[in-house]
Structure 1
Amino acid sequence: MDTQLLNPIYEQSFRDNWGLPALTEYGKKHTLNYADLALDIARTHLAFELSGIKKGDKIALIGRNSPGWIVVFIATITYGATIVPILQDFNPTDATHILNHSESVLLFVDDHIWENLEFEQMPNVRGVISLTNGKLLAEHPLNEGKIAHELKNINRKFRRRYKNGFGPADIKYAETSADDIAVLNYTSGTTGFSKGVMLSYRNLWGNVTFGVQSRLHFQGSRCLAFLPLAHAYGCAFDMLVPLATGTHITVFGKLPAPNVLMRALSEVKPNLVICVPLILEKIYRKQILPMITSKRMRWVLAIPGLDKALYVMIRRKLVEAFGGEFEEVIVGGAPLNREVEEFLHRIKFPFTVGYGMTECGPLISYTPWRQFIVSSSGRTLAGFMESRIDSPDPENVPGEICVRGVNVMNGYYKNQEATEAVLDKDGWLHTGDMGTRSSDATIFIRGRYKTMILSANGQNIYPEEIEAKLNNMPLVAESLVIERNNQLVALVYPDYEAMDKFGISNSQLPAEMENVLADLNKLVAPYERVSKIQLIANEFEKTPKRSIKRYLYNA
């Protein structure tokens, strides 16, 4: 398909997969098949129509992952309106700001979130509908009760419209331009200020088409959607691509605890696992690292042959932990710790690391696990995206990664200045990430341009690389490397669970951290050595995407 139109993909998918299971909420028995999904979308379209929604209107969506959340999202883009997914983790003030900035005219929201919002602060919103039970929660006084009146008899009106029942032939979605805005995705960014990323139907088409062509999902495959669907990463590859292929999606209502997630993986047995580095890193640090660093295991690993047998055993257990029937685990959303990555590669665990950002909806580069190069972030998507490095020697000297192509956003909503700061006149998106690029367009990320530290002798220091090593040290839960008085200082939030396990008291912790510092400085280059570790009492403040708000700690 070269027309870059998204809605016909879903028209065809829902017809072709009419009788197959589509959506199940984890822990509940009820499943929507594709026929049910198509019918619920048609009913939502009628609700939009009765509420006076026009093509291009903004419809906001705040709630946990659920089949109802998915219905509203897909119904909005197939109607020709613009969906504004708002993370349920945003506080009420931020959520209200996004509702107003986006000029959303309709809001779908979970009841428990609605309790903390003030309708009087949303002058553009005509009506609020519950994701929990579909009821109208509020209507703007100037609307004079029109939505309530129209929705009162929606079932009767739906039956009247489809007198012979709703069938595959009745699926007909809005005709849209590839440049029309399908999603307005707000990200807090690194500065703490939200920007509305305008993702067009073309951007979504690029991500979906690549996913379908790559057979990331396929008809009848199984998917466990546990990442937030309001994020571009989970949205594209745990929802948009699966629904374009006839995949059965099992939806998690909230980010689950590791033990609950592992149980769900063993039950659902997904054919593809989409995850963030934190999950793999926790498994490595809590389960694998203590085992391979024990005195007995170090002895086993030193004997040729036995080490391979041990790695086979670890790989088998890890594969079983993720359900045992997946083609690969795709890691994205943040850099994967280098030590963890190298170990997973050593045991031949089927994983790959991709690279993307909300501004590309999200995918920029990806390589199937059998061709994946350790420490890379995959190859730039051939036929969809191109990349270059702003560097005199792109293969060896890091520079800013710039990308261009089908997946690149239209810009930031009502923010021309921010748009011009990242999108140049030739269409190149300046990502703010630093890295190198091989001749086959494989990308190697070093760190963020804004966090790079220039040493006194002119060396570029990427704090993320030092933090990755430090986070694998005993007693370190998370860390942040900053510059103070021309020296590197590591802020460390201790691993209190590990302290309890090893019987280390608070008074003993500073001495233990001196040992950690000495071990760290043996692993880094001379110009990357850290002068001291400063302990902090509380976890680092984070964005809704769970990224540390670095700007709060640079003073």
Structure 2
Amino acid sequence: MQYSSLGEMFKTVCEKFPEKTGMMYKSGEMYHSISFKELKSKAHNFAAGLKSIGVEKGDRVLLLSENRVEWALADYAILSIGACTVPIYPTLLPSHIEFIINNSEGKVLILSREHQLQKIKEIQGKLKHLKKIILMEGEGGDDLLSWQQIAETGEKLLQKEPELIEESLQGIKRDNLASIIYTSGTTGLPKGVMLTHGNFLSNVEGSRQVISVDENDTFLSFLPLSHVFERMAGHYLALHAGATIAYAESIDTVADNLKEVRPTIMTSVPRFFDKVYAKVLDSLEESSSLKRKIFFWAIELGKKVNLYKHNGYAINGLLKIKHNLADKLVYSKLKENVGGKIRLFVSGGAPLSREIGEFFNSAGLVLLEGYGLTESSPVIAVNLVDKIKFGSVGPPIPNVEVKIAEDGEILTRGPHVMQGYYKDEEATKDAIDSEKWLHTGDIGYLDKDGFLFITDRKKNIIVTSGGKNVAPQPIENLLITSPYVEQAVVIGDKRKYCSALLVPNMEKVKSYAQNNQISFADEDELLKNEKIQALFRSEIDRVSVDLASYETLKEFRLIKEPFTLESGELTPSLKIKRNVVEKRYADIIESMYLRLRLKRFFIAWKRFFRKSICDPRFILSIFRNITPTKWGQI
């Protein structure tokens, strides 16, 4: 069925599965369930309550909250009356929140708790258009409405006007604005991406044609719903299928919540999979030699099975027997660590390391990498369960066109492409050309099978002083596969060579020091230790074997303090702001290149000196080439 709006989708699915569990949340020590019937009632009551305080079709309603049932209910309530949801990352600072509220001209702000309310109090005098604030937790007060107040008012209104929501839904079309999502941006101020009901619905419809999801599935939601990836995949797509959505308590409790909820599908960013991988390797270090051998045998066998499967060959005979044994000894235990029922992981939001992708899929945990951006609602391409190409983000999904421009930029066109940037026509014209192609800003290529490969961000491409183009992100992805490297930034634009700033995993480095009898007074002394420096050099060399000579890192520096959101070095979606990092560590970067220049100067001088001593003809050639004029200049 093709829906006219997200509100219609919500209503229809709730009525199709009234008694089934639609959402789950944890309170105390237990997870509690809410049926689809209850969800519809709660969302529609809240929607009517919003109408009672003056929210009309087209109005912007801001949503500042952590992931929770009320976030989802508020979103569907807003959409069901034709208003526009403007999500705000709960981790944003007051100054950033102020910009979004004022730029969007939001009339109503829905907050989760007191912590978020304190941020608003800091900037309340600067908010030009805001008229009402609603608090999910607690009671209302001066200029503050409670969730309960709005819901109760709405319930009474619906008793008088039972067709109120239905009438609103009939007036909403696919091309109506559903949301303005402010891109976190690695440079400059965020831009408001305008996405319609049709943008989201076309993306849900296309994704469901290539990813099997139904009402028997359970999703665990922990990525911020303010991020377009979780919004589409873990919110709209899950509901479209009639699946159950369980909300993790927080990012820190995901490991426990996986075992409690036992989901079948989970979407996440690569950092989650990196951490799972690192944890598996940690546990292997403490295992016996026999267990390690069995583990790596099973992983290598899994790679062989995947090669057969993805190329259309049957798995039978001795290979099938071995694979069943590997499942019993290794794969099943790994699966238990992520709940026991998981059948599909989907990674998006940032590039996934090929090594991580191969590991998960070889271990019997299907991990599909996809690609998209906020401006494309977001999914453009995703790998297929029965056809995965590691290092690729898969073929474009149905309804989505992709082509590669002459300069290698990935362009996309279709019903998934945004309306434009809110109140920014110039930026919209830069992003969407006259033929309706969205310029993604990413560099990549399509292979002969139509699978899309991403090289890097166009604006991130390093051009060395020798004219070589270097994509830093694939190199950084290789670096963070080292257990000793937490974060990495490759430097080299307009310079002769590439170098890197590395944030070490201090826990791992200290463990290495203890195992190798390296004494140290503090962390600073430890990181300067020659053996630790040699460790990182060897890790860089290990992951660089397949790099071109101009991509290799000639120098590196260890940065003890991690890049964080609070320090301004990360975006809310945890992407590194390169310009901020390069500016903040400019002195350290310059010291690397000074060291390189001095090193090369002394090498050149030694060669010159050696040659001049050994070969008198070399000295004579210098004198012959110096004219009287040049002697005068000397």
1:242 aligns with 2:238: yes
The DSSP-based 3-state class of the residue aligned with 2:492 is strand
The aligned residue for residue 361 of structure 1 is 377
Say whether residues 1:112 and 2:115 are aligned partners: yes
Q: Which residue in the other structure is 2:462 paired with?
A: 453
Opposite residue 379 of structure 1, the aligned amino acid is P
Is the CA contact (8 Å cut-off) linking 2:81 and 2:165 kept in structure 1?
Answer: no
The 1:6–1:46 alpha-carbon spacing in structure 2 relative to 1, beyond 3 Å, is closer
Instruction: Write the distance in 1 (CA, Å) between the matches of 2:537 and 2:95.
Output: 42
How far is the alpha carbon of 1:289 from its aligned partner? 6.6
1:284 aligned residue (272, 277, 283): 277
1:158 maps onto 2:174 in alignment: no
The structural deviation recorded for 1:153 is 9.0
Tell me if structure 2 keeps the 8 A contact 1:11–1:171. no
> Superposition pairs for residues 153-232 of structure 1, below 5 Å?
155=152, 158-159=155-156, 161-162=158-159, 173-214=169-210, 216-232=212-228
Q: 1:76 to 1:531 in 2, by over 3 A?
A: same
Indicate conservation of the 8 Å contact 1:301/1:307, yes or no: no
Contact persistence 2:268–2:347 (CA under 8 A): yes
Q: Which is richer in helix?
A: 2
CA contact (8 A) 1:103 1:124 kept: yes
Aligned to 1:142: none
Q: Which has the larger radius of gyration?
A: 2
Counterpart residue identity of residue 265, structure 1 = L
Q: Structure 1: 5+ residue runs without aligned partners?
A: 140-146, 392-397
Q: What are the Cα deviations for residues 116-138 of structure 1, in whole angstroms up to 9, with x where unaligned?
A: 22322212111100021473662
Q: Which moved more, 1:130-139 or 1:426-435?
A: 130-139
Letter in 2 for 1:123: K
Is contact 2:3–2:201 with CA below 8 Å preserved after alignment?
A: no
Specify whether residues 60 and 152 from structure 1 end up closer, same or farther in structure 2 by C-alpha distance, changes over 3 A only.
Answer: closer
1:297 deviates by 6.5
Per-residue CA deviations over 1:3-41 (Å, capped at 9, x if unaligned) read 754333222111111111112213444432111111112
Does structure 2 conserve the Cα–Cα contact (< 8 Å) formed by 1:493 and 1:535? Answer: yes
1:486 aligns with 2:502: no
Residue of structure 1 equivalent to 2:387:
371
SS across alignment from 1:333: coil
Deviation at 1:248, TM superposition (A): 1.7
1:543 matched residue in structure 2: 571
Give distance in 2, aligned partners of 1:305 and 1:263. 26
- The alignment's TM-score, normalised by the length of structure 2, stands at 0.78
Q: Give the partner amino acid of 1:19.
A: E
Q: What is the match of residue 275 of structure 1?
A: 268
Deviations 1:272-331 (A, max 9, x none): 111111111112123237738999479937998895369644432222222222331111
Partners of 2:187 and 2:499 in 1: CA distance = 21
The answer (yes or no) to whether the contact 1:25–1:251 under 8 Å persists in 2 is yes
Q: Which residue identity does 2:337 align to in structure 1?
A: A
Q: Are the equivalent residues in 2 in contact too, given 1:483–1:554 (CA < 8 A)?
A: no
CA distance in 1, matches of 2:364, 2:57: 49
Distance 2:357 2:150 in 1: 56
Please point out which of 242, 258, 263 is paired with 1:265. Answer: 258
- Residue 415 (structure 1) aligns with: 424
Mapped contact 1:211–1:217 kept (Cα < 8 A): no
SS of match in other structure, 2:102: helix
In 1: Cα distance, 2:488 partner to 2:299 partner: 35
Aligned counterparts of 2:91 and 2:349: Cα–Cα separation in 1: 17
Task: Letter of the 1:103 partner, please give it.
Answer: E
Q: Work out the CA distance in 2 between the residues paired with 1:155 and 1:338.
A: 51
Name whichever of 515-524 and 246-255 sits farther off.
515-524
Q: Which of residues 140, 143, 156 is equivalent to 1:138? A: 143
Q: Is the 8 A contact 1:345 1:374 kept in 2?
A: no
Q: How does 1:20-99 map to 2 (within 5 A)?
A: 20-27=20-27, 28-99=30-101
Q: Which runs of 5+ in 2 are unaligned?
A: 302-321, 521-525, 564-568, 584-634
Structure-2 separation of matches of 1:159 and 1:295: 66
| Larger deviation, residues 537-546 vs 53-62 | 537-546
Displacement of 1:447 after TM fit? 1.0
Shift of 1:412: 0.6
1:124 aligns with 2:121: no
Is this contact kept in 2: 1:15–1:168, CA < 8 A?
Answer: no
Are the counterparts in 2 of residues 292 and 298 from structure 1 also a CA contact under 8 Å?
A: no
- How far apart are the structure 2 equivalents of 1:58 and 1:216? 34
Match of 1:251 among 247, 255, 259: 247
Within 5 Å, which residues of 2 pair with 1:284-303? 284-288=277-281, 291=284, 296=289, 300=293
Deviation of 1:175 (Å): 2.3
Tell me the TM-score normalized by structure 1: 0.89
Q: CA RMSD in A?
A: 3.1
What CA distance in whole angstroms lies between the structure 1 residues aligned with 2:173 and 2:470? 44
Distance across 2 between alignment mates of 1:287 and 1:305: 14
Instruction: Verify the 8 A CA contact 1:69 1:131 in the aligned structure 2.
Output: no
Quick check: 1:342 aligned with 2:345?
A: no
Question: Greater shift after overlay, 445-454 or 238-247?
Answer: 238-247
Partner of 1:381: 397
The question of whether the paired residues in 2 share the 8 Å contact of 1:130 and 1:137 is answered with: no
Identity among equivalent pairs (%): 27
Which residue number corresponds to residue 477 of structure 2? 468
User: Which of 487, 497, 507 does residue 497 from structure 1 map onto?
Assistant: 507
Q: Distance in 2 between matches of 1:11 and 1:25?
A: 21
Q: Secondary structure at the match of 1:369?
A: coil
Question: For the residues of structure 1 that align with 2:11 and 2:556, how far apart are their CA atoms?
Answer: 57
1:161/1:469 CA distance change after superposition, 3 Å = closer
CA contact (8 A) 2:182 2:192 kept: yes
Q: Is the 8 Å Cα contact of residues 298 and 326 (structure 2) preserved in structure 1?
A: no
| Offset, 1:263 | 2.2
Question: Counterparts of 1:181 and 1:268 in 2: how far apart (Å)?
Answer: 34
**Structure 1's 314 and 399: CA in aligned 2 closer, same or farther, altered over 3 A?**
farther
C-alpha deviations, 1:497-536, integer Å up to 9, x for none?
A: 1012222541423343333344344342212111101111
Contact 2:300 2:362 in 1 (8 A): no
The one-letter amino acid paired with 2:560 is A
Give the secondary structure class of the aligned counterpart of 1:370. Answer: coil
User: Cα gap change, 1:297/1:483 in structure 2, threshold over 3 Å: closer, same or farther?
Assistant: farther
Which range moves more in the overlay, 273-282 or 477-486? 477-486
User: For the residues of structure 2 that align with 1:117 and 1:132, how far apart are their CA atoms?
Assistant: 15
Structure 1 residue 323 and structure 2 residue 342: aligned?
A: no
Contact in 1 for aligned 2:299/2:363 (Cα 8 Å): no
